[in-house]
Structure 1
Amino acid sequence: MPLPDQGIFEEALDRGQLGLAIFDERLIVTTRLGALSEWAPPAGAPACDAPFLTHMEANFAELRERGGEMVLPSVRASVDGPRVTISISWNPQSRTYVVVTAPDHAGEQIERLMASDRREKQILRQQADAAAARLRVADALYRDIVETADNLVLRFGPDRRIVFANRAAALFLGRPQDGLAGLTLDALFPADGAPWPLERAAEERASFEQSARDAKGRAAWLAWDVNFLGPEGGGEFQAVGRDVTAERQLRIAREKAQEEARAAAVARERLRIAHDLHDTLVRSIVTMIAEARLIAKKTNDPEAKAALAELDAQARQGLWEAREAIAQTRAARREDADLRAIAAEFSARWSDVETTLDIADGAPLASETATLFAAVLREALRNIELHAGARRVRVTLAFDETGPRLVVEDDGAGFDPQAPTPGHFGVAGMRERAALAGATLDVESAPGKGTRITLFAAAIGWQLS
């Protein structure tokens, strides 16, 4: 960058009586002239890389705002070099900082040297105080935010030990807040089947949902966002957990209502088709049979009688097939009662729940039994989704000489089967459905002990292949 009237300074620059440097408004060195300015970084480098100017970005910004001059008096340009005075001013016309370095005749002015020393110490103290104040404000703001938050907030190190937990986390776990420090993350929030993705969180924010139990043993679902705070944060992680139990329950209830609405619509359409077939095709065939028999009685032609007899047989066969089709149309679809498909759909929807399926082969259920078992399995799995917060589910269909037996087990929150459950009709509905079909439903559960539902259908029969 050419300097105005640069020739005036050339002699002083050559004799080491003056140093001149230019910084642009981004604090990048554009020009460095004279031996006295060799303390400054080379052209193209950040000016604040110089030891004298470290962490002084705020000072430069203030100088640009207020104008005037900033003086760094009596500093040593190098280990064994002379002391110099550095004067920095802002030129608004060229939008540059002009840095003039001159020898400091400290021997002649002791007081000025002492003042410079005090000024250096004052600048350093101000910088340290400002940095400490910023840290205190940031820490106070952080703690105020996380302590009053409804979400769970955890901070932990790479060893997964808790460094900080907010009040919401302590209330959820039912432990004193200061008693959580030092405990391991996996001990407080076990992650069976869906481990905490800390490796991924070290690169970008990781989000996932996890089942958990609160201090009262209530099953809950928490949606976690995990961030790595980086080296400036001590290499720690921060996790923010939001209780999404109600959201999941609403979603499942909506899916149940949609499923029931679709099933009802299909049933209505099947019934309409069955009625239409009965009112049209079946009546037409019956009418045709009656007319063919009436004609056969009135004719004496042997060939006509034989043809009418053949027509009668074919019509009766068609009538049987039409009635069979109507019966199949009225019946529920076989795939709706596929226990494997129902369990597989649950497993796909809740991949974080370990689902085991053990269904015996070679013993197909009768239609009524399959429909009952499918309805009970759907309701049992739906209850697990809504209330259990289970990590493991097992579905078993076994056959013995007494009949088929369906067992649905989970390791979830459990409940007291004898206690009233106002507003919840899942178990009651399963009992009523089983009783109407002549089957036996047994529910074994206790708070914190999981649930086991057994459906035994000997009373309604079953068929072997």
Structure 2
Amino acid sequence: MIDLSADLLAAAEADVIGLAVIGADRKMLRKMGRLVEWLPATGADCCECMLLVGMEDEFAALAAGRRDNIALAGVRGASPGIAQPVTAVVLWNGAQSHYFVIAMPDFAARQVETLLGSERRARRLMEQQLEAASAEVRFASLARTRLRLARDLHDTLVHSIVALLTQIRLIRHFLTADPARVADGLATAEDAAASGLSRAREAIARLRMPDDLKLEPDVEGVLADFADRSGVAVSTHIDERARDGLRDCGLTVQRILSEALRNVQTHAEARQVTFRAFEEPAAAGRRLIVEIRDDGRGFDQAIPTPGHFGLIGMAEFAELVGGTCAVQSAPGLGTLVRIALPVAVPPAASRGVLAD
């Protein structure tokens, strides 16, 4: 009679563990518990079991004392009734000349599976978040493109049409008041139309360029061209420390400056424009400050101007690079455009500040 420990028998009867006894000839003698149902039927060679096929030499080595046990970790799927992984150990009882098998739930493998399941869920969640972020990026890109189209339309077609309307009204006035000046008015209107066409073509070319294309800005050139074209006196004051920031942020400054100068030429009736660029400390790094001031007639900021988007476009240009653009004006007091843009601090400079 095979003698099994009472504790092991009780655990097997409660399905806490599984027990099996195998004779020295590898024939199954007894099985107890669901956790050993994967073993062959009583009387069959245990190596006929799918999980023990080809292990005759291992059993012989175990009986001869050349190895301590045969361990089968993470066994699962061998029995329809076993959902969790099982670890099985085959031992040799030399005194009674038989093998016995102890099978128990493999909690480590189960924990690994739980962790893997959590990892899979986390990966799925991350994939969903990435898809959502990608959708947001696509939406932001579309919104940016729409803003860019709106700004370029305003900067080209709107200004050109306004110039043409002005000339048409002058020509209509000349028809009755001074017919001799009609030809001059038509020539000016033709020049305005040609200029508008050229700027529209430039805008179309810009739309065909990628957003990240780096154009070479020329802020001082824009100011000089404006002075030559308009006859308005321009004074320029650029601090030496601000030149690096002005170069890095030059494209944004140039776009806002061009719009501000168009407003000066079209509406302000100014005699003097002052351009200042300097840097000031910020909470993180430095900040480039650009001020464009004119001594024109100014305007009342409390009065809405429907259909005019130049000031909105200037603010949007600054916001695209994390900055701000504020306009201050009042009737008879001119206009101040103040741009504040973040300036990256070079790594060497930041280390020098920390070293101090």
TM-score range, shorter chain: 0.3 to 0.5
Q: Which has the higher contact order (CA 8 A, sep 6+)?
A: 2
TM-score (normalised: structure 2): 0.39
